[in-house]
Structure 1
């Protein structure tokens, strides 16, 4: 096959991928796991095919293909996640000058019967957490407010607005990856592994999760650090924390990296960004219910875990009950110690080694958590594209097994599918970190 023929295959593959996403977004209910799984496999294979063929194509072709796929999903109601009603609810609260952190949706409707309307009642019916305080930081609330203000109490309009913001964020990620791949002299073919990845498209554009914006801000922080703009780098990192909190766990890596540790402007920039991001929680002591909700989330919910489930089973045998209350803080402590150890041990000397450390930190965190929603993988996966590590790429495929729970009437997870998912991940982690040719990286 000639290079021209190979190049001509890429638009056809993108068209096939687009058709698959259209089926998932508009036609196939989430409880039909086997059909979802089959289409996901085709989508992942299509992404890999474009990756293998992309040496014969310009990056502009990949960009247009991925963008058109995302735009085809603009009018879809999220199938695999019911978080969006809470986004729209919080936006309505802010629009009405109400504090979304002080009352649960259930309590607010009971306390304000005069403000009740069919739109809010519908959001309450669709919501998966009407009895909980909001856990979304103030930056998110600003985006939710924008959706409420422009959406005019129309669910579809609100969804389209949220999706538009996320697509613009995805475009930013693409061009930041393009710029950073050039800086690090990485192959541009890897762009397709993110831009056409079915997990990324399904969970950011499809299901409206904000991990894409977290990755956007982390990449912006990395680029600013590479360009010696340490104050701006710290500000972007602080904004990433303001978006989802989790990037705070990277703080030890910045202390171990000389350029950021010694830079006053980096820490001033990050401090200012954190103040702007979280000062709103001081209003009416909003930080109290906010932290209570986070603590409740960490100590009550379980989904798609690995090591946590294994230890929990031992707890059942010994104690006779679910030890999540005792186990969660222990695993959190182990995670913290592990992050501090690897940050101290590796001591990155350049931005590329810093990113490699970030990938390890994200991986360590996720394999020790009791809740691992598929979209949690996206920041770590995007960062892993700068390294030679394949674990996150493999996980973006294997995580489809967690969707099996949607096919069960009681959302019961299958131990068989969990075993398949984490066996694939374990093999990938061994390949990345424990083969003789790469084992030295753990102690580098």
Structure 2
């Protein structure tokens, strides 16, 4: 009894914060509608403040942070997502596969328009996903489709049951990210509790666990792949990276960045020895662990080409069960929509669009959407060949900067996209993704125009979001003095 009393006395503030979080998450999951903007912002701001304090107070108690991170996720188990409709399409695709259909060959409307109901609860799913989701071919890669299939297999006639199964898969992926993330942080001599800027972040809990976005599964494979790469198991790293791509295509943008890591990377022991008494100042790059430091260029090039070959071959094999000429056409068409049709929560694109209106006045996305991919490719090539990417931290930092540039120029930036930036940032000195994970909630206010007849985004709200994000970004990149290595080893706290 005295032990319990002493425990509660010592930890009364953290426990009070934890209880408050549970109550706020419960309200968020079961008593919030997307259009209740005031409540949405207040709950999110409160949760973010409590999250910051919990990591600050408990950063040396990894076990406790782990328990509460997954306890908060458990709050959402029985909840229907209230900020996104996408999960209805996920369920539809999974049930289509169960019924023997190739989900890439049919739109939802192609059935509903003819009064056909190929899956259980077809009308409810169609009504829930909305016209945008129903009118386009699916763009979710095969490992993502596997998750949908598993949900259909175990809960084929229950929307809530399917949501629960998908949620459990995402939570399991978070466990994997926590496991490999901590191991990679330790090997890079970065505090292990940095992983909780991702795992405990309310943005991650709400957008991934709550709203059922599978970025969490993609991130699990990405971090696992980076850990394998660090450990010298580059062949398996390539296979796992292909799994990540087969959940979400976004890791494809990272492939060129591995060039220097294979060609110019080198092996430095992370263990203390006479020549290296202070291993905290070194980074193990095991890309050539099975060869000598001065291995010939042709050998390193062979490994690089082999790495790319494994990634591409594995990805193609995963897509193979769905292959047909129609599939290629439909998939390319759907991916193209993200560049030339959809607009949401953009930054640089909206500025370019307004400038274009001065000259043409309409349909700027058709022009800018063709130029933007070229600009992004050029930036990736510059980062590949003109920036040092030899060490693991340099490689991950390059990934962070490349993906940030892509989102800064994109026509569509949904909130859950920021999850990848957030996980990459914990291995670097840059913290603007943490700030973005807070202000991204403003994107849900984009359609808060006082004139209810006006269905366009409120650019003032988006402007506030990006002024904060760009402000922190440019401060960290151009103004903030280079952090000493010893400072980098510490957390941002």
TM-score of the two chains, using structure 1 as the length reference: 0.93
Aligned counterparts of 1:3 and 1:75: Cα–Cα separation in 2: 32
Question: Does the Cα contact within 8 Å between 2:96 and 2:119 map onto a contact in 1?
Answer: no
Q: Which residue of 1 aligns with 2:467?
A: 423
**Cα root mean square deviation, aligned:** 2.2
Query: Residues 430 and 99 of structure 1: is their aligned pair in 2 closer, same or farther, counting only changes over 3 Å?
Result: same
The one of 122, 137, 145 equivalent to 1:120 is 122
Q: Which residue of 2 aligns with 1:109?
A: 112
Q: Which residue of 2 aligns with 1:64?
A: 67
Aligned counterparts of 2:258 and 2:252: Cα–Cα separation in 1: 10
Residues 110-143 of structure 1: CA deviation (Å, up to 9, x unaligned) = 4573x55771111111113211111111211111
Q: How far 1:267 sits from its partner (Å)? A: 2.9
Aligned counterparts of 2:9 and 2:184: Cα–Cα separation in 1: 30
Aligned counterparts of 1:323 and 1:236: Cα–Cα separation in 2: 38
Q: How far 1:62 sits from its partner (Å)? A: 0.1
Q: Does 1:73 find its partner at 2:49? A: no
Aligned counterparts of 2:319 and 2:118: Cα–Cα separation in 1: 29
Q: How far 1:284 sits from its partner (Å)? A: 5.3
The one of 157, 164, 167 equivalent to 1:153 is 157
Query: Residues 357 and 6 of structure 1: is their aligned pair in 2 closer, same or farther, counting only changes over 3 Å?
Result: farther
Question: Does the Cα contact within 8 Å between 1:7 and 1:53 map onto a contact in 2?
Answer: no
Query: Residues 180 and 328 of structure 1: is their aligned pair in 2 closer, same or farther, counting only changes over 3 Å?
Result: same
Q: Which residue of 2 aligns with 1:193?
A: 197
Q: How far 1:402 sits from its partner (Å)? A: 0.6
SS of residue matched to 2:312 = helix
Question: Does the Cα contact within 8 Å between 1:237 and 1:270 map onto a contact in 2?
Answer: yes
Question: Does the Cα contact within 8 Å between 1:30 and 1:407 map onto a contact in 2?
Answer: no
Aligned counterparts of 1:357 and 1:117: Cα–Cα separation in 2: 44
Residues 240-266 of structure 1: CA deviation (Å, up to 9, x unaligned) = 111111110101101232256642552
Q: Which residue of 2 aligns with 1:437?
A: 481
Aligned counterparts of 1:103 and 1:336: Cα–Cα separation in 2: 31
Structure 2 unaligned spans of 5+: 1-5, 266-286, 288-299, 485-493
Aligned length: 438
The one of 286, 296, 320 equivalent to 2:327 is 286
Q: Which residue of 1 aligns with 2:94?
A: 91
Q: Which residue of 1 aligns with 2:407?
A: 366
Query: Residues 411 and 382 of structure 1: is their aligned pair in 2 closer, same or farther, counting only changes over 3 Å?
Result: farther
The one of 37, 43, 47 equivalent to 1:39 is 43
Residues 364-423 of structure 1: CA deviation (Å, up to 9, x unaligned) = 111000100010010111011011101111100111111103556665422221121111
Residues 173-206 of structure 1: CA deviation (Å, up to 9, x unaligned) = 1111111111111113323211221110111000
Q: Which residue of 1 aligns with 2:282?
A: none
Q: How far 1:274 sits from its partner (Å)? A: 1.1
Q: Which residue of 2 aligns with 1:180?
A: 184
Question: Does the Cα contact within 8 Å between 1:163 and 1:208 map onto a contact in 2?
Answer: yes
Aligned counterparts of 2:23 and 2:328: Cα–Cα separation in 1: 44
Structure 1 unaligned spans of 5+: none
Question: Does the Cα contact within 8 Å between 1:231 and 1:267 map onto a contact in 2?
Answer: no
Aligned counterparts of 1:307 and 1:110: Cα–Cα separation in 2: 38
Query: Residues 205 and 411 of structure 1: is their aligned pair in 2 closer, same or farther, counting only changes over 3 Å?
Result: farther
Q: Which runs of 4+ in 1 moved over 4 A?
A: 2-8, 115-118, 406-411
Query: Residues 164 and 3 of structure 1: is their aligned pair in 2 closer, same or farther, counting only changes over 3 Å?
Result: closer
Question: Does the Cα contact within 8 Å between 1:194 and 1:200 map onto a contact in 2?
Answer: yes
Question: Does the Cα contact within 8 Å between 1:339 and 1:361 map onto a contact in 2?
Answer: yes
Q: How far 1:160 sits from its partner (Å)? A: 0.4
Query: Residues 81 and 36 of structure 1: is their aligned pair in 2 closer, same or farther, counting only changes over 3 Å?
Result: same
SS of residue matched to 2:468 = helix
Question: Does the Cα contact within 8 Å between 1:81 and 1:207 map onto a contact in 2?
Answer: yes
SS of residue matched to 1:168 = helix
Q: Which residue of 2 aligns with 1:356?
A: 397
Q: How is 1:340-419 mapped onto 2 (pairs within 5 angstroms)?
A: 340-405=381-446, 407=448, 412-419=456-463
Q: How is 1:188-267 mapped onto 2 (pairs within 5 angstroms)?
A: 188-258=192-262, 262=301, 263=303, 265-267=306-308
Q: How is 1:332-343 mapped onto 2 (pairs within 5 angstroms)?
A: 332-343=373-384
Q: Which residue of 2 aligns with 1:23?
A: 27
Q: How far 1:212 sits from its partner (Å)? A: 0.9
Question: Does the Cα contact within 8 Å between 1:230 and 1:265 map onto a contact in 2?
Answer: no
Q: Which residue of 2 aligns with 1:272?
A: 313
Q: How far 1:79 sits from its partner (Å)? A: 0.5
Query: Residues 436 and 110 of structure 1: is their aligned pair in 2 closer, same or farther, counting only changes over 3 Å?
Result: closer
Aligned counterparts of 2:14 and 2:182: Cα–Cα separation in 1: 19
Query: Residues 406 and 176 of structure 1: is their aligned pair in 2 closer, same or farther, counting only changes over 3 Å?
Result: farther
Q: Does 1:315 find its partner at 2:356? A: yes
Aligned counterparts of 2:19 and 2:415: Cα–Cα separation in 1: 25
